[in-house]
Structure 1
Amino acid sequence: MDSPSARSLAMLSLLQSGREWNLRELAGRLQVSERTVRRDARRLRDLGYDVQSRPGPGAGYQLQPSMKIPPLLFSPDEISTIVTGLLVLGAWSPDDPSVNAARLKLEQVLPPGLRQRAVATALSTQILQEKPAPLDWTRIGTLAEAVASGSRIAFDYTDQNGRETHRIVEPYRHILRQRLWYVIAYDVDRDDWRLFRLDRMQAIHPIPGHYRHHEFPYDSVGDWLASNFGESAFSNDESGRASRGEQ
């Protein structure tokens, strides 16, 4: 590594995976001595990162969550990536204040050099692509927490024919396709995997409790969408209702 700062950034990236790294692994990945790894771990602690170490022959290091906000050790290219991503989201949802607020908060906590890169990226970037339907971040948060905890959600749904139903599902993923946001979920009452348009879901709320988890039937969402099962969710049958989809 060229400098202590570069080594610290590389070490932090490894530790942020959440796993424990032994001393020899870190030294090999960073191409430095074990003594240097110990020194860089102390440097990260001095910066405010809670790096825990396990002593002994198989000494290990692991990053623990911390309430203290240390300096953000992003590279300039990583900052450009983050800011550009926020600009894309802002172009898609121009009336949503959360995107601009997130970018401004990020700039406020960056050191001067990275802040300059963030401002320059925002100034020089303009998103012209056709935007999808607006995204409700509150709904996304509820869905994300349900997916992460393996819990269920309930909601009221209006399909493309105006029919209203109450659904209980196990959400798996929300996806963007053809400018619309969809939710892939296991429908408990219908004992099947279904696709729901996010903008047609109302009164979304989590259901407390623990339930038997249903495994997604394909290796990836892309495989499912490419299958007849997935494609049929986007096409109408003769009755005008979506087959296995809830459009």
Structure 2
Amino acid sequence: MSDPTTRALRLLSLLQTHRSWPGRELRERLGVSDRTLRRDIDRLRELGYEVHARPGVDGGYQLAAGTRLPPLLLDDDEAVAIAVGLRVAAVQGLGEHTALSALVKLEQMLPAHLRRRVSALQEYAVAAGGRGMSVDPDLIAELALACRDHERVRFAYVSGLDVESTRNVEPHTLVSNGPRWYLVCWDVDRAGWRTFRLDRMSRLLRTGARFTARELPVEDATEMVFVSDTEASYPLEAVIHLDQPLEETRRAFGVWARGATANDSGGSDWPVGGPSLADLLYGPGWIPLDVAWTVSATPEVTDLLARFARRLTDALPPPSEPPSPS
């Protein structure tokens, strides 16, 4: 690496990724002598980068905070992350004018393909709360672009039961919920709305086939994620038998009742489930007080529900006596 400018930029990139570098390792990375390394360090200092040198056998170099902010070297993913963060800050009013000013400076330096990624991620990736788990940023970016361009995609997917299948979908929105990212989409082969976890996807292919965007069955895509994963199976499951027609059940609970079916008595059977008792009881809590219902479940789940019902009854105060007539 003979060009001094190229070498200095490479040295700066290395110093920005580690707290401290041994001199020997830097020389090996750059393919230079100790004397050349010292000259390149001095060149960075002249540009405003404060580089500390530690002498001795175990000595090395460390990039420290200086008295002014020098230029930063960012890779593609870092630049996209900063740009998206600045857009969120501007929209939410967190230092709006400063965020917009910084965003303009950054985006005018981004190449066209990175500006497309920033725009797609901002518009089609929704945070529903919590921190996301580790997902390939290129996968998120490609799916966001497919959402924006209304382009069908195919991918391999492993369900919660470890069953692998190939999915052909029309992507709508990306949602991060807690530690996971989800794709909300229309499953072409199954003719219905589905959610897929990105950490279970592989072999993504953008097909180039365009589609007309469909209207979501809910106002907010995050509701689709909150319902359940595609083809989910839960440790605790039950079926609620509601004394109301299926149409009324679907109208009352929307996408939450997408698995409900009509029964022979003219009512509806609504499957519910979850990894815990609290999740299992979430759905029944929304049943109107004037609607009668019963529950069917395995003996283990039935016993768990009965024990909770007894605990709830024991925790309630005795009913108050009606006032006596005067």
TM-score by length of 1: 0.45
Query: Structure with the greater relative contact order (CA < 8 A, sep ≥ 6): 1 or 2?
Result: 1
Question: Which of 1 and 2 has greater Rg?
Answer: 2
